[in-house]
Structures are given as C-alpha cells and as structure tokens.
C-alpha cells in the first residue's frame, strides 16, 4: 500500500489544537496536587485534635505531627533544601518520636521538639527557595514564634492550647508556601 503524498496527510495530532494557556495551568496544578492533598490531610488532623479532649488529644496531635512531616516532604524544593527532607522524615518516624519522649520522659516534650524541628525546616525553605515571598516570610516567622514558646528543656510543658496554636501556625505557613509556589512569587 502506498502512503498518500505529504501535502495531503493530516497534521500530527499535536498540531490539530493549539496549546491553550489552561494546559500550562493544569500541569502546574497537577504538580502541586500532592502538596495540596498533604496540606488538606494535615488540616484535617489539626481540626480533629482541636475537637478532642484528653487522653485522645495526644494521639491526634501525634497524627497531626506525622501529617505535618508528610506535608513538609511535599513542599516544592524540600528535597533540594538542606535538612528539610530529613526533618520531614523525623517528624513521621515513630522511633524518633519515642526516643525524644523517653529522653524527656514526656510525650508532650516530643511534641514540642517536633514542632520546633518543623519550624526549622520551614525556616530553611523561607530563607532559601522562597526568600522572595514576604507572605512566606511572615507566616513562617509566626510559626517560628509559636514554636519558640514551647520549652521542653524547662520541664514546664506547654499547654494544650499552645500546642494547637503552634499547629495552626504551621498550617498557615504551609498554605503560604503553597500559594507562593503556585503564584511563582
């Protein structure tokens, strides 16, 4: 069988429809989907913790910390910013959690330690690939401030409200990171 002459062949499929600006937006949205989903899962865990009472509160705060680690791991540039993926891994690792809890003889101290670690990871992102975003700088600064109010070394455990306030500040920092990347700030 003979092929039709080149001048009457239909154009390749890619040439049939011009690229639409929405195609690029869809690709960017798809690239951010894992991060967005991780933020949503983290937010859900924080809401559950806020609605809980002791003793269930401790386990839901731990769930929020694990999900915070997962969200931090999904931040664009987390794997190329020094220390961030290691911090994200420690937040998710139960062995690390129990080691810190044993060292201070307190699950609350492990929570406080994890929140401060997460703040350090977000600070590295804010000072690195997101340094041009004032909204990231402000939100991460707020989170860092809330984390600094937690003092396991003082042997004075943070209140439930202080922990929940810090977890909410972490949520706002994650949303700021997401927004800055999506808007290419």
Domain spans of the chain, in order of start? 57-182
% of the chain exceeding 90 in pLDDT:
66
Q: What is the pLDDT along the chain (185 residues), one digit of tens a residue?
A: 555 555 555 455 444 454 555 555 566 678 799 999 999 999 999 999 999 988 788 999 999 999 999 999 999 999 999 999 999 999 999 999 999 989 988 888 899 999 999 999 999 999 999 999 999 999 999 999 999 998 756 667 788 999 999 999 999 999 999 999 998 87
Q: Looking at residue 16, what is its pLDDT?
A: 47
pTM of the model: 0.83
* 113 contacts 163 by C-beta, under 8 angstroms: no
Number of C-alpha atoms within 13 angstroms, CB side, residue 54?
5
How many C-beta neighbours within 10 Å does residue 159 have?
12
Furthest CA-CA distance within the chain: 86
The 10s digit of each residue's pLDDT in 30-84 is: 879 999 999 999 999 999 999 998 878 899 999 999 999 999 999 999 999 999 9
Which tokens go with 41? 């899962």
For 174, phi then psi, to 5°, come to -60, -40
């Amino acid at each position: 069988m003979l092929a039709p002459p080149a001048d009457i062949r239909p154009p390749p499929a890619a040439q049939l429809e011009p690229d639409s600006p929405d195609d690029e937006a869809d690709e960017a949205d798809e690239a951010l989907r894992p991060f967005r989903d991780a933020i949503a899962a983290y937010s859900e865990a924080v809401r559950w913790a806020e609605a809980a009472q002791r003793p269930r509160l401790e386990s839901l705060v731990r769930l929020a910390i694990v999900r915070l680690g997962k969200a931090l791991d999904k931040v664009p540039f987390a794997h190329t910013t020094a220390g961030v993926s290691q911090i994200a891994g420690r937040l998710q690792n139960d062995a690390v959690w129990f080691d810190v809890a044993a060292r201070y003889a307190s699950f609350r101290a492990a929570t406080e330690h994890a929140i401060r670690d997460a703040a350090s990871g977000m600070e590295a992102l804010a000072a690195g690939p997101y340094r041009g975003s004032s909204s990231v700088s402000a939100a991460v600064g707020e989170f860092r401030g809330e984390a600094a109010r937690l003092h396991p070394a003082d042997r004075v455990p943070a209140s439930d409200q202080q922990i929940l306030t810090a977890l909410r500040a972490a949520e706002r920092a994650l949303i700021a990171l997401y927004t800055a990347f999506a808007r290419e700030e």
